């Protein structure tokens, strides 16, 4: 079994930068090399746009360092398939496209439109808390088997 691959929705990446909590713990697993982050060019463009929202008040230095960090640790994919599953917010489909193109195990999101799917083409769609629980349980199970 290979390393867990995940696409982190923009809301998770923003939360990981700005606040303590489960999204930051998920991103920490990426930084430690425990999780392989997969992102697409459209997904990254959305991240850049959202980082600029004035309500977040991130400094230019914070935004620049975070974008560089994401690019340094992520595998960039170019989705070729156009997915139109989420009707309520069509922009959410770029997360599904990224996940499919990257052949990920998980999409981690706080978005209710994505979460209600629970799974898409074999990709588990989870909140940060659910994701952490599942990967931590899987890691513990592997340690028991190895011992």
Instruction: Provide mean pLDDT across the span 123-138.
Output: 93
Predicted TM-score (pTM) of this structure: 0.92
**Is the model's pLDDT at 142 over the cut of 70?**
no
pLDDT at 140: 54
**Is the model's pLDDT at 85 over the cut of 80?**
yes
CA-based R_g, the chain, Å: 15
Residue-wise pLDDT for 11-26, tens only, equals 999 999 999 999 999 9
pLDDT at 139: 59
- Strand partners for 107: 7, 125
∠ CA 94-96-100 to the nearest 5 degrees?
A: 115
- Asked if 100 contacts 119 with a C-beta cutoff of 8 angstroms, the reply is no
Q: Using CA atoms, how far apart are residues 109 and 126, in angstroms rounded to an integer? A: 6
**Is the model's pLDDT at 38 over the cut of 70?**
yes
Q: Using CA atoms, how far apart are residues 26 and 30, in angstroms rounded to an integer? A: 7
* 121 phi and psi angles, rounded to 5 deg: 50, 45
**Is the model's pLDDT at 75 over the cut of 70?**
yes
Q: Using CA atoms, how far apart are residues 4 and 24, in angstroms rounded to an integer? A: 17
Kindly report the average pLDDT of the chain as a whole number. 92
SS3 77: strand
Q: Please, what is the end-to-end C-alpha distance for the chain in angstroms?
A: 17
């Amino acid at each position: 079994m290979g390393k867990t691959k995940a696409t982190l929705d923009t809301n998770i990446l923003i939360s990981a930068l700005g606040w303590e909590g489960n999204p930051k713990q998920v991103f920490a697993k990426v930084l430690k090399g425990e999780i392989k982050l997969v992102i697409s060019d459209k997904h990254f463009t959305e991240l850049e746009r959202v980082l600029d929202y004035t309500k977040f008040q991130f400094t230019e230095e914070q935004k620049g360092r975070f974008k560089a960090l994401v690019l340094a640790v992520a595998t960039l994919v170019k989705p070729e398939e156009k997915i139109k599953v989420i009707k309520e917010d069509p922009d959410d489909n770029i997360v599904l496209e990224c996940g499919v193109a990257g052949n990920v195990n998980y999409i981690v999101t706080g978005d209710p439109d994505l979460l209600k799917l629970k799974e898409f083409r074999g990709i588990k769609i989870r909140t940060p808390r659910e994701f952490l629980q599942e990967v931590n349980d899987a890691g513990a199970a592997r340690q028991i088997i190895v011992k």
